Amino acid sequence: MTRRLAADSAGIAQAADILRGGGLVAFGTETVYGLGADATNAHAVARIFAAKQRPAFNPLISHFPDAASAFVHAHADARARRLAQRFWPGPLTLVLPRTADCAICDLAGAGLPSVAVRVPAGDVARALLAAAGVPVAAPSANPSGGVSPSRAEHVLDGLEGRIDAVLDSGPCAVGVESTIVDLTGPHPVLLRPGGIPIEALREICPDITLPHDSSDARPAAPGRLSSHYAPTLPVRLGAVSVAPDEALLAFGPELPGSSLTWNLSPGEKLEEAAARLFAGLRFLDMEGRRRGLRAIAVQPVPTHGLGAAIADRLSRAACPRT
């Protein structure tokens, strides 16, 4: 049985107890719902992989209530401290060397010498992390390869009965996962575009390297499987027209001809589009299948700002399944 806990002080205390006892609790962050477990407890972390049916080589992000507690486990140089100061709490994950005191288990870190740490925004998430008092490993709370959850109901759709509880803090404000920056080398490397746009990171790290514009040997971003965020219906990008048997994921003025449309942002606002992306993919997939539609056609979305994260998630959703 999966308990649905209200995001009040009693619910937060119960959720923290479950985490400390080695259980699994899904909780809302500003990006997506995470599936949390005590990152220092390898048995608890193993349950995350089992519940998600996730390939075990994929390392997890550990979550903390503040930068000071994160930097007990992850070694922060001056760049890391500047980024944390500017963007935490918020949708930024830093990949840093483990400290000598690092208690994050090898399974959560997939045996790597580095760890990924983040301080999420959101009062409920931070209250839970503070009450838990341990680093909380949390991938997105969906079966591996599926669409990330931006509401408690989405978590239950995929994981009901496989996890102990979901702490319902309502819909996620940002809607796409955190931006991941690797600081283990001489230059910061963007491993995943996300809720903090690259343009904002450049103000603090002008030498940040993009995934595709570098001839440097790039550190591998383990777990960045190309097919991901995948609905069951095929996804067709860059649609300039839509067939009658396709659902339409629109942005701005809608293409004519579809009987089933989810508009990410009629007013062409990228923040709104990011927040509505995963809910839209879920809706079109479920309702499109019910109506016997063949595919999801996606109108072009600009790629600046949060558009880079949206484009990344859409291209993975469209990737042929292997």
CA gap 91, 32 in Å, rounded: 10
CA gap 169, 257 in Å, rounded: 37
Instruction: Assess 112 for contact with ligand TXA (CB under 6 A).
Output: yes
Which of 14, 40, 140, 299: binder of ligand TXA (CB under 6 A)? 140
DSSP letters spanning 229-281: S--SS-EE-S-SS--TTEEEEE-SSPPTT-SSEEES-TT--HHHHHHHHHHHH
The answer to whether 215 is a known ligand-binding residue is: no
Spell out the alpha helix ranges (H) of the chain: 9-20, 42-52, 67-73, 78-87, 123-132, 152-159, 198-204, 270-290, 307-318
DSSP letters spanning 101-128: T----TTTTTT-SEEEEE---SHHHHHH
The answer to whether 62 is a known ligand-binding residue is: no
- Cβ contact 284:296 at 8 Å: yes
Which of 140, 169, 179, 258: binder of Mg ion (CB under 5 A)? 140
Total residues interacting with ligand TXA, rule: CB under 6 A = 30
Instruction: Assess 189 for contact with ligand TXA (CB under 6 A).
Output: no
Please identify, using beta-carbon distances, which residue of 246 and 312 lies nearer to Mg ion. Answer: 312
Which of 164, 177, 246, 312: binder of ligand TXA (CB under 6 A)? 177
Which of 39, 115, 121, 152: binder of ligand TXA (CB under 6 A)? 115
Please identify, using beta-carbon distances, which residue of 38 and 177 lies nearer to Mg ion. Answer: 177
Instruction: Assess 34 for contact with ligand TXA (CB under 6 A).
Output: yes
Judged by CB under 6 A, the stretch of 12-20, 91-99, 157-165, 238-246 that binds ligand TXA is 91-99
- Please report, as ranges, the residues that interact with Mg ion according to CB under 5 A: 140
- Please report, as ranges, the residues that interact with ligand TXA according to CB under 6 A: 29, 31-32, 34, 58-61, 91, 93, 95, 109, 112, 114-116, 118, 120, 138-140, 177-178, 180, 191-192, 221-224
